[in-house]
Amino acid sequence: MNLVKSKEKTNTSLEEREHILYTFMIITNLFIIIVNYIFYYYFKLPNTNLYILSVLFTLVFPFLLNIYSIFWHINYQEEVSQEEAIKELEMEIENEGKSQIPIMLFGLGIFISKLDNNIIKQVFPYLMFALIFGTVLPEFTKFLIFDHNNIKRLTIAGEVDFSFMVMAYGFLITCIILSIIFIVKK
């Protein structure tokens, strides 16, 4: 009898987690679109090809990786218990905290500081957005986890953290590519 209740409880919590993931897929993808809209509203690139390349890495790349991540979690989590899911989520959050984004941003910042002032003005917004989404906001989401035994809270924190990191990588990759293109054109 207890085994049946335990299995039903696990299935219910996994169904709730799946619902949370689908909801967060919609919310985080809308957030990615809004951030990109605001970013490109204020920061313009001189060339249409560079604009398309930039949008590809700052909008499409995070959007697709976010969808992939959520579908992977939904399919993977169907096979594990709630306790295993909690352990896995805590490990993912901890591993995402060991990101190399701050190191890459530091190196790229030093590299960019040696460039022409016009290039710095065009690349700097990408660098700052990568900094905000790669270091500041993920630290803030980790700070908001109060209950490490609540699968809903860990799921939400993990997906928000992953979305921020993917957006940071999109802005970082764009920053690197634009820096290389501007240097080669020079």
Which residues, in sequence order, are CB contacts of 46 under 8 Å at separation 6+?
122
The pLDDT tens digits for 124-178 are: 888 888 888 888 888 787 777 666 667 677 777 777 888 888 888 899 888 888 8
Band (pLDDT 50/70/90 cuts) for residue 13 is low
Flag the least confident range among 28-42, 102-116, 117-131, 157-171: 102-116
pLDDT at 82 over 70: no
Per-residue confidence (pLDDT) for residue 5, from 0 to 100: 44
Give the separation between CA 75 and CA 53, rounded to whole angstroms: 32
pLDDT at 94 over 70: no
pLDDT at 69 over 70: yes
Average per-residue pLDDT for the chain: 76
Q: How many CA atoms lie within 13 A of 53 on its CB side?
A: 17
pLDDT at 21 over 80: no
Per-residue confidence (pLDDT) for residue 80, from 0 to 100: 58
Per-residue confidence (pLDDT) for residue 46, from 0 to 100: 76
Handedness of CA 113, 118, 123, 128 (dihedral sign): positive
What are the domain boundaries of the chain? 2-185
Per-residue confidence (pLDDT) for residue 95, from 0 to 100: 63
pLDDT at 16 over 50: yes
% of the chain beyond a pLDDT of 70: 74
As given in the structure block, the two tokens for residue 20 are 């949370």
Per-residue confidence (pLDDT) for residue 7, from 0 to 100: 47
- DSSP helix/strand/coil, 89: helix
- Taking the model in full, what pTM does it have? 0.76
Q: How many CA atoms lie within 13 A of 40 on its CB side?
A: 19
